[in-house]
Amino acid sequence: EENGIRHYTTAVAVPRGNGQVERFNRTILDSLAATGAKTDAKDWDKNIDKVQLGINSTINSTINTTPGEVLFGIKLNSKSERYINHVYEPAITDVTKLRQEVFERLEENRKRQDEYQNKNKRKAPEFKVGEKVLLKISNFTSDGTTNKLKEKFKGPFTVTRVMGNDRYEVKEDLGSERCSGSRRYVGVAAVENMKPFVVRSDDI
């Protein structure tokens, strides 16, 4: 909080909720593959320092500089560059000024992305604390079986907190379809995986 950093929890089975991290993970995996590391190899971590240096010393098109320079105030050089140059004298950067420029570029890019994403976006349904909802379940289970022929939604669950960004904290009701004994699911759900719980007249 002192540094203006807020921690957001993501909803289960919604990759877009953690899109920036997921995209960066893909960059890391592609970079590791380029070094000759295999995804099933146990020694992939031996190449991670090369990937880290490569990413931190590559100019990012959004911020128009390298992550390393923003963080350390110097241009990071590889070992081969230092060997060729013999003398390594990094260029010192005014970090405070650079970080402000980067912040402004990121903010401008964020607004542009928001405008693009929201252009044809329909307003998401809203739920209130105390409302009953059903949650969409995954097609596959942990044991490899499929739920494709089963009901797509389970519940009911009760909304216990509105978290913003189309996310809600929900708690499973006792007696729900998936509740076993006193063990009740509590977690974060994305609005696209939720729908109102409606009691049918023949259930009353």
Residues whose CB falls within 8 Å of the CB of residue 75, separated by 6 or more in sequence, listed in order: 57, 66, 68, 69, 90, 91, 93
pLDDT of residue 127: 94
Torsions phi, psi for 200 (to 5 deg): -75, 150
What are the extents of the domains in the chain?
A: 15-119, 131-196
| Mean of all residue pLDDT scores within the chain | 79
Residues whose CB falls within 8 Å of the CB of residue 136, separated by 6 or more in sequence, listed in order: 152, 153, 192, 193, 194, 195
Single-letter amino acid, residue 65: T
Residues of the chain above pLDDT 90, percent: 19
3-state secondary structure of 27: helix
User: Based on C-alpha coordinates, what's the Rg of the chain?
Assistant: 24
Q: Please tell me the distance from the alpha carbon of residue 32 to that of residue 24, in angstroms, as a whole number.
A: 12
Model confidence pLDDT, tens digit, residues 169-185: 999 887 665 544 456 77
Residues whose CB falls within 8 Å of the CB of residue 175, separated by 6 or more in sequence, listed in order: none
pLDDT of residue 75: 79
pLDDT of residue 17: 74
- Predicted TM-score (pTM) of the model is 0.56
Assigned token pair, 106? 């990121």
> Which of 44-48, 75-79, 136-140: highest mean pLDDT?
44-48
**Are β-strands 186-190 and 167-172 bridged in parallel, bridged antiparallel, or unpaired?**
antiparallel
Q: 29: closest CA among 16, 14, 18, 40?
A: 40
DSSP state for residue 119 in the 8-state scheme: S
pLDDT of residue 186: 83
Average pLDDT over residues 11-23: 78
- Per-residue confidence at 84, pLDDT binned at 50, 70, 90? very low
Element (H, E) at 107: helix 95-118
Q: Which residues pair with 135 in a beta bridge?
A: 154, 194
Single-letter amino acid, residue 22: E
Model confidence pLDDT, tens digit, residues 62-73: 999 999 889 888
